[in-house]
Amino acid sequence: MAEPLNIALAGLGTVGGGVVRLIETNAELITRRARRPIRIAAVSARDRSKDRGVDLSRYDWEDDAAALAARADVDVVVEMVGGSDGPALALARNAIAGGKSLVTANKAMIAHHGLELAAAAEAAHVALKFEAAVAGGIPVIKGLSEGAAANAIDRVYGILNGTCNYILSTMEDTGADFADVLGEAQRLGYAEADPTFDIEGTDAAHKLSILAAIAFGSRLRFDAVETMGISRLKAADIDQARALGYVIRLLGMAEVDRSAGNGAGGAARLFQRVRPHLVPINHPLAHVDGATNAVVAEGNFMGRLLFQGAGAGDGPTASAVVADIIDIARGETGAAFSMPTGELEAMEPAESGHRTGSAYIRFTVPDRPGVLADITAAMRDAGVSIESLIQKGDPDQDGEVILALVTHPGPERAVTEALRILEGSQSLTAQPLVMQIIGA
C-alpha cells in the first residue's frame, strides 16, 4: 500500500471536530477508497484546553496555525479557521508556497482570493480544493466541474443559505414575523448571534460567485453580485405569496448573458444576483424546507439537475472536506475552477435592467383616498403592466395598509423607473420591496 497522506488541521470548531471524528470512525473505508491511509499529523486551534468531544492527544499540537505550513511531515493543510483575510489567508498562501495542497471550507476566502490561490496552486503543482465551501455536504462543485463538464451551463441558481431558508419556511408554517423567527433561530443555534452575513445575503453571494466561476468558466466576480437579504420581509409577504400560488425563497442566481446590446460586439457578460424570489409551488425549490440547501443547474444537453441536501453541520461539511482529501490522496488534483486560471473568461457584469420577467412589489401606504391612483399612474408612466393587486385587510395602528401587486412580464428597468417616479411621494410610508418571480 502507498505511503500515508499526512494532513494538518487548522481550526477545530464544529467542522474541524467533525473531520477528526469522520477520519477516525471511517478510517478503514477511507483507506480503501483513497488507496492509501490518511493520517492526521498535527492540529491547531486558539484554545488548547477546550473539550471538543474528540481525543486530540495522539496528534501534534501547534499553537500557531502558521507553523502547520512549515512542517516537513505534512502533505495537505486543511484550513477551517474562517474569514476572508487574516490568519486564514496567510496560512493558505504559505501552505501552497511550501508545496502543500490546500483543502478549505472557507467560502469568503475563496470568493475574495480564489483566483490568486488557484494560480499559485497551479504554479506549485499542488491542489486547491473547496467542495465544503458551497452547500455543505452537497457535492455540487464536483457535480458541476466533473459530472457536467461536457455541458454548456446556461444557468445555475438555488437556495444557498440554510439560515435564511429556515427562517422563511418557519414563517410559512407559523405565520410569525421575521424578527420573531430570527430570535427563535438564534436560540436554537440555526442563526449566529450576529446573523448579518446570513440574513443580508452576503454568505449566499460568496457561494454564488464560486458556483458561477465553475459553471461558466468565468473569473470570480464576487464584487459584481447584486445582493439583497430577507430582513425586510413581513408575514404579509408570505401570506400574499401563498395566495398567489408561490412561496418565498432567498435564491442566488447566475447566468451568462449574451443578449444583443449588453456589451460591445455581443461579448458575454455575467449576471449574478442574490435576493428573495417568489417561487411557484410546483417548482422543486418550493419544497426545500428548513436549513436545507439546493442548487439547480441547467445545461444544454443534460437539462435540469437538482442537487439537494444538508448545507451545514459538522457531519455533512466534514464529509465534503474529507472527500477533497481523498481526491488528493488518489492524485486527482485538477484545476480548482474546472479549468486552468489562464483559461477562465473575464466577463463584465451584466445589467439587470433589460432582463424580462414578472415581479411582486409590496407597498406600505397610508389608508387614504388617492394612494392607489398615484401608484397605478406611476406604473402606467413607466410602462409597467399590472396583472393583479392585493390589499391586506384593515389598516394597522399607524393607519397604514399593505398593498401588493404582481406585474405582467416586462423589463426590470420599467419597475425601477416606476419606483423612481414614486420617490418622495406622500402615498408611500416605507421603501417598496421588489421580488422577482421565477418560472416553473
Q: Measuring CA to CA, how many Å separate 357 from each of 353, 384, 411, 415, 436?
A: 11, 11, 7, 10, 7
Q: 230 with 164: CB under 8 angstroms?
A: yes
What is the gyration radius of the CA atoms in the chain, in angstroms? 24
Q: 271 with 352: CB under 8 angstroms?
A: yes
* Catalytic positions: 207
Give the β-pairing of 5-10 and 76-79: parallel
Burial class, 29, CB count within 10 angstroms (exposed 0-12 / middle 13-18 / buried 19+): exposed
Buried b (16+ CB within 10 A) or exposed e, 182-218: bebbeeeebbeeebebbbbbbbbbbbbbbbbbbbbbb
What is the rounded CA–CA span in Å between residue 399 and residue 66?
60
Which residues lie across from 303 on neighbouring strands? 299
Closest by alpha carbon to 258, among 301, 218, 206?
A: 218
Q: 136 with 359: CB under 8 angstroms?
A: no
